[in-house]
Amino acid sequence: MYDIKKEIQIDLFALDEECLLQGRKVLDVAEAYSEAVEKRDRAKLRLDVTTANLTMKVKRDYKEFGFDTKPSDIMALNAVLIQKQYIKARQRLISLNRDCELLKPGVEAFKDRSIQIGRLINLVMAGYAAGKVALTEGASEAVDRVRTEKHTATLNQNARLQRLKREV
């Protein structure tokens, strides 16, 4: 099964890589969820087929199942529910349902992860982070460039500074 706990972790020392890989990770978890749903649906079909086959067998060979006369539908179903083949198929379906239920919120968690990465990048660009955050050289230059551009844009919007520029 897809290891959500491992993949959802954000490496604070490689936010640029995390940002670039986020789209692929969202697709990976969505694909894992889709595969789990497909396996579960196939298991449902196998359980239905197993139930039908066992029901026919109980009704046809009712004496093998301890009935003196042909059993009613309810009695046949009760006989089916205690058969090893049915129990095994049912346990498989329960296990696959669990996998689906675990992956379903994982898809949403990875969407939330995108927001978290964005917030962390904003904190780094603002010069704040809860711990030391090391960026790759290219990312560090990009952060410095954006900081400079923001600073310049803020200064350009300053009315007092604009008047001073006109006077000079």
Q: How do the domains of the chain map onto residue ranges?
A: 20-129
Q: Is the confidence at residue 42, as pLDDT, over 70?
A: yes
Q: Work out the average pLDDT over 69-90.
A: 93
pLDDT in the model for residue 46? 97
Q: What share of the chain is helix, strand, coil (3-state, %, to 5)?
A: 80, 0, 20
pLDDT in the model for residue 137? 65
pTM for this predicted structure: 0.64
Give the pLDDT confidence of 93-130 residue by residue, as tens digits: 999 999 999 888 888 888 888 888 888 888 777 766 55
For the chain, what's the residue count? 168
Q: Is the confidence at residue 5, as pLDDT, over 90?
A: no
Identify which has the larger pLDDT, 4 or 78.
Answer: 78
Work out the number of other CB atoms within 10 angstroms of the CB of residue 76: 20
pLDDT in the model for residue 140? 67
Q: Work out the average pLDDT over 142-147.
A: 72
> What Cα–Cα distance (Å) separates residue 108 from each residue in 37, 54, 104, 121, 151?
16, 40, 7, 20, 36
Identify which has the larger pLDDT, 160 or 29.
Answer: 29
Q: Are 51 and 25 in contact (CB under 8 A)?
A: no
pLDDT in the model for residue 138? 67
Q: What is the mean pLDDT of the chain?
A: 84
Question: How much of the chain exceeds pLDDT 90, in percent?
Answer: 40
Q: Is the confidence at residue 157, as pLDDT, over 70?
A: yes
